[in-house]
Each structure stands twice: as C-alpha cells, then as structure tokens.
Amino acid sequence: MTNYLITVIGATAIGKTTLSIKLAQHFNTEIISSDSRQFYKEMSVGTAVPSSLELASAKHHFIQNRSIFEDYSVGQFEKDALNKLNKLFTKNRIVVMVGGSGLYTNAVIDGLDYFPNVDSKIRVELNQELKTKGIQFLQKKLENLDKESYNTIEIENPHRLIRALEICIGTGKTYAEFKNKPKAKRNFTPIKIGLTADRETMYNRINKRVDIMMEHGLLDEAKKLYKNKNLNALQTVGYRELFSYFDGNCTLKFAIEEIKKNTRRFAKRQVTWNKKDESILWFNFEEDVAKIISKIETIINVNRN
C-alpha cells in the first residue's frame, strides 16, 4: 500500500491552515507543520499559530514544541518529521503537511541539499559587515553574486542571508547551484496542493492579518521577547520591526507598516520559490474544498489501480 503525504503550499495568509484542517478531517488523519516560525512556544501571535479551536479540530505536530532558547536546525526537523511520519503511516496511509517554510517542507519531501565546508573566517567577516554596514548591504551583495537565491531565500533573516553569501564567496559558485541534487528516497508519495490568489488580494489579506495580530497582542508579545532579540529564532518578520521601535529607531506606526511591507516581500519570495515546482497542483484560495478533495482522491485511485 502506498503512503501519501498531502502537502498544502502557498504564500502567507492565503488560507493554508484552514484547508489543511479540512483535508485532515476528511481523510481522518493528522497534520505535520513545517512552518519553522511556529515551532517556538514563546511566539504565537506573531507567527499566526493555529487557534485552540483549530488545533482541537485536527491533531497537529511540531506546533510550539520548542523554545527560542533551543538550537533547532532544518536537519534536525527533517529527522524528527520523518520519524513522526513513519509512526503516523502505521495508522493511516495519508498524512497532511502544511507550512510556509519552503526549505523545511522540501527537506521532508526531497531531503536536504549538500553544501561544502568553507573557511569560517568568511562568516566572521560577513557578521562584521552586518554590524557595521547593515543588512541591506549584504542583501545587495547577494543580489550581485546570486540573483536566484536573492529572489527565493528569506533575505530578511540574517542567518539565512549570511549562509548563502558564505557559500558563494567560499566556493566561487552560487548557493542555488548546490541546491540541484538528486531527491532522497522516501516511503511516501507527495501530493502537493498549492493555494493562490491575485497579488492585490494576497497583499490585502496580509495587511489585514497584521492588523489582527496587533489587536491580539503582538506588541505585548514582542515586548516580552525584546530582551532576547538577538536569538536566531527571533530574527523574523513581525518581531524585528517592533524591536527597532523599542530601540527608539522608529515610531510604532512606521514599525507596523514595515511588518506589512516585509511580510508582503516574504510572500513574494514564497510565490517565486513555489513557481519552480511543476508538481504543485494549484487552486484558487476560494476553491470549493470538495473539488480539491476530489482531485486528491482521483490521484490516489489512479495510483491504486
């Protein structure tokens, strides 16, 4: 019997959580989250963690299961997720995975990419440039060295940005070149369901979500985390902008607009990342769920025969 991993993909605020729950309920199965921002229990408002009602509607895994004080890599997540899938497949040959972190999603489905070791001095120099010249200087450097990675990775995250740059500088090749490798063998067949919307609709949904986050206490949540602002887990949109406000570098109104702008930029990168994958089955975010389920069941029945 073939195992299936139904993976819900799409830009932030597009409706992935709602669809994943409906799919899990229909197939009487559980959900694995591959959203790297939602792993951390101290971050809930700013990462749009599913509500208590949503979490009760279907069993979720890898939601707020870590602390921001723990180091947790994509490699560790890959191992943990595969172990969890093996257990879940003993109960149901269909499992749902959802998340906006393309790197983490791809690690589960295809395996991690191999990157060679490079001189550690390069990272030290890049971190120094980050401190003295700012993140935009490094972003421009990556754009010049590796336009493909500049357009796809989360360049607002200094850890990811510096990782891509050190590979480019240390190897003389682009970071993107090392991402083209044979896929790892898995004991499941992925079915990728993508949700899409026109850009104006997507951006309006993002702006509205940020407003709701502020109403639900994002400012207070960020204030509690401010003393730990240098932790890697907190180098993310929604917190970094408010930390800048707490530092006295901008007004609260400006910080909120920056959250919206940077989230829109993040969504644009998600779209660019996902466009490269021709195996994704795309649906409008308002599509009748019954039609999506019908398409999934057709694929499963064809493979069964």
- Contact status, residue 87 vs residue 188, Cβ threshold 8 Å: no
Residues, the chain, total?
Answer: 305
Helices (H), the chain: 16-26, 52-57, 74-88, 102-110, 120-133, 135-145, 147-152, 158-171, 199-215, 218-225, 240-246, 252-275, 289-304
pLDDT at 68: 96
Using the 8-state DSSP alphabet, how is residue 184 labeled?
Answer: P
The response to whether 109 counts as a known ligand-binding position is no
- Contact status, residue 5 vs residue 85, Cβ threshold 8 Å: yes
The response to whether 16 counts as a known ligand-binding position is yes
The response to whether 12 counts as a known ligand-binding position is yes
What's the whole-model pTM score?
0.84
Residue-averaged pLDDT of the chain: 93
Question: Residue 164 — very low, low, confident or very high, per pLDDT cuts 50/70/90?
Answer: very high
The response to whether 10 counts as a known ligand-binding position is yes
pLDDT, one tens digit per residue, over 206-258 is 999 999 999 999 999 999 999 999 998 998 999 999 999 999 999 999 999 99
Query: At residue 305, does pLDDT exceed 70?
Result: no
Residue 102, CB-side half-sphere exposure with 13 Å CA sphere: 24
The response to whether 102 counts as a known ligand-binding position is no
> Looking at per-residue confidence, does 76 or 117 come out higher?
76
Question: Residue 275 — very low, low, confident or very high, per pLDDT cuts 50/70/90?
Answer: confident
Average pLDDT over residues 170-182: 83
Give Cα separations from 277 to 113, 271, 280 (angstroms).
Answer: 16, 10, 6
The response to whether 217 counts as a known ligand-binding position is no
pLDDT, one tens digit per residue, over 17-49 is 999 999 999 999 999 999 999 999 999 999 999
Average pLDDT over residues 65-85: 94
pLDDT at 114: 76
The response to whether 15 counts as a known ligand-binding position is yes
pLDDT at 130: 92
Question: Residue 180 — very low, low, confident or very high, per pLDDT cuts 50/70/90?
Answer: low
Region of 62 (left: φ > 0; alpha: ψ -120 to 50; beta: rest) is left
From the list 277, 260, 285, 210, the residue with the least C-alpha distance to 19 is 285
Q: Do domains 4-113+181-304 and 120-179 have the same CATH topology?
A: no
pLDDT at 222: 98
Q: Is 8 helix (H, G, I), strand (E, B) or coil?
A: strand
Cα-based angle 273, 234, 36 (whole degrees, multiple of 5): 40
Q: Is 284 helix (H, G, I), strand (E, B) or coil?
A: strand
- The label of the residue with tokens 């060679």 reads 116
Average pLDDT over residues 83-92: 97
120-179 topology per CATH: Histone, subunit A (1.10.20)
60 is written with which tokens? 């979720």
Q: Which residues, including other chains, have CB under 8 Å from residue 271's CB and lie 6 or more apart?
A: 11
Q: What residue ranges do the domains of the chain occupy?
A: 4-113+181-304, 120-179
Query: At residue 59, does pLDDT exceed 80?
Result: yes
Question: Residue 139 — very low, low, confident or very high, per pLDDT cuts 50/70/90?
Answer: very high
- Contact status, residue 11 vs residue 270, Cβ threshold 8 Å: yes
Q: Is 253 helix (H, G, I), strand (E, B) or coil?
A: helix
Query: Hey, which CATH number is domain 4-113+181-304, 3.40.50.620, 3.60.20.10, 1.10.3720.10, 3.40.50.300?
Result: 3.40.50.300
d(CA 212, CA 217): 9
